[in-house]
Amino acid sequence: SSSDYMYINNYADYWNTPQSFQVLFDTGSANLWVDSIYCSTQACNAHTKFNPQQSSTYSANGHTFYLPYGAGSLYGTFGYDTVNVGSIVINHQEIGLSTNEPGQNFVVAKFDGILGLSYPSISAGGETPVMDNMISQNLLSANIFAFYLSRGGQQGSVLSFGGMDTNLYQGQIYWTPVTSESYWQIGVHGFEINGRETGWCSQGCQSIVDTGTSALTAPSQLIGHIMQAIGAQESHYGMYMVDCSQLNNLPTLSFVISGVALPLAPSAYINQHYQNGHQFCSVGITPTYLPSRNGQPLWIFGDVFLREYYSIYDRTNNRLGFASAA
């Protein structure tokens, strides 16, 4: 009953013979990798493994990589193969084959790999991301992808390549330029609590829009102020809790982006848990102690934000669009 979730696709196929994998679509990284037969750690053994010997189209390139994701890391080796993502067939796509996934974190992951959707400048090993190969191979009707993340059950979320789904959002799309063509990073020009401007981003803030992060992440220097406004108390392991009976009295938080305030109601940023018949309410906002690359305070718009806003990633114009999710 928690709303601390990740969104994972059906599968991507590797030819030929097809091998299918569930991957996490991650706008916060750029590489594609999958578990492989070269890895025998507990995390790898818990997942479907790619066997390049069963693919007549696979070729190795000999380069190795290390990818830290914060919540897990891996080592691997790069190769090329034909990749089918939702019926889009990409030739000669660089893929990472894991050789070592240490620790426990990936053991419980429901995905066999990660498909990064950010810009090539942050790609480990300089490998070409899937989206860039889609663009260069003219596989898309428009160089756009868009995420709809369902607020409800396990089903219903959609990633669209080549355009946006007008039935998955309502109202106007608000566009804002990408400020650093590395991550899907944008400027945040204001932060409001119950419609009142705090001034905390008056000197400018940055935000990375990241489907691979579940929480909304706030700059550490602001987290105390935000939790005070919410009336949250710090619990164990960095979690902040609120009295569930007060949910209707919690403030609406809004981000001002390119002159438009995008609100988050309490229902968006509060996770409700049930344990032994008791209800607990935690705040889906965590701190980060690292600034953005330009030194401005950094937010991360994870799934807590993206469940409320349909997000459109426009590589042609290097801009991000947000509209109220349907």
Partner 1 sequence: GIVRIPLRKHKSMREALREKGIELPYQDPALKYQPDEF
Residue 236 C-beta: closest distance to partner 1, Å: 8
Q: Among the candidate windows 1-9, 74-82, 191-199, 243-251, which touches partner 1 by CB under 8 A?
A: 1-9
149 lies in the site for partner 1, by CB under 8 A: yes
Q: Using DSSP, state whether 168 is helix, strand or coil.
A: helix
69 lies in the site for partner 1, by CB under 8 A: yes
123 lies in the site for partner 1, by CB under 8 A: no
Q: Which residues are catalytic?
A: 26, 210
Neighbours of 99 (CB within 10 A): 18
Per-residue interface string for the shown chain with partner 1, residues 159-198, x marking contact by CB under 8 A: xxxxxxx-----------------x---------------
Residues found in the chain: 326
Position among 25, 33, 200, 322 found at the interface with partner 1 (CB under 8 A):
25
- Which distant-in-sequence residues (6+ apart) come within 8 Å of 230 by Cβ? 240, 242, 250, 251, 283
The two three-digit tokens of residue 21, written as one number: 């994998």
110 lies in the site for partner 1, by CB under 8 A: yes
Residue 117 phi/psi, 5° resolution? Answer: -120, 15
Question: Between the CA of residue 225 and those of 130, 218, 245, 301, what are the distances in Å?
Answer: 40, 11, 21, 18
Give the nearer residue to partner 1 in terms of CB position, either 37 or 88: 88
Give the nearer residue to partner 1 in terms of CB position, either 51 or 137: 137
Cβ atoms 255, 191 nearer than 8 A: yes
Pairing relationship of beta strands 169-181 and 144-148 according to DSSP bridges? unpaired
Q: Indicate if the alpha-carbon torsion angle 97, 101, 105, 107 is positive or negative.
A: positive
Taking only Cα atoms into account, the Rg of the chain, rounded to an integer number of angstroms, comes to 20
Residue 251 C-beta: closest distance to partner 1, Å: 23
268 lies in the site for partner 1, by CB under 8 A: no
120 lies in the site for partner 1, by CB under 8 A: no
For 129, which DSSP code? P
Position among 19, 32, 72, 132 found at the interface with partner 1 (CB under 8 A):
72
Nearest to residue 301, comparing CAs of 196, 188, 221, 171? 188
Position among 34, 85, 257, 283 found at the interface with partner 1 (CB under 8 A):
85
Q: Cα–Cα distance between 5 and 322 in angstroms, integer?
A: 20
Residue 254 C-beta: closest distance to partner 1, Å: 21
Give the nearer residue to partner 1 in terms of CB position, either 39 or 85: 85
Say which amino acid occupies 178: V
70 lies in the site for partner 1, by CB under 8 A: yes
Per-residue interface string for the shown chain with partner 1, residues 208-247, x marking contact by CB under 8 A: x-x-xxxx-x------------------xxx---------
Say which amino acid occupies 111: F
Residues near partner 1 (CB under 8 A), total: 67
Strand order across the 144-148 sheet: 144-148, 309-314, 319-325, 169-181, 184-188, 205-209, 298-301, 216-219, 285-288
Residue 223 C-beta: closest distance to partner 1, Å: 12
Give the nearer residue to partner 1 in terms of CB position, either 163 or 224: 163
The site for partner 1 (CB under 8 A) is made up of 2, 4-10, 25, 28-29, 66-72, 85-88, 104-106, 108-111, 122, 124, 140-142, 149-150, 153-155, 157-165, 183, 208, 210, 212-215, 217, 236-238, 286-290, 298, 300, 302
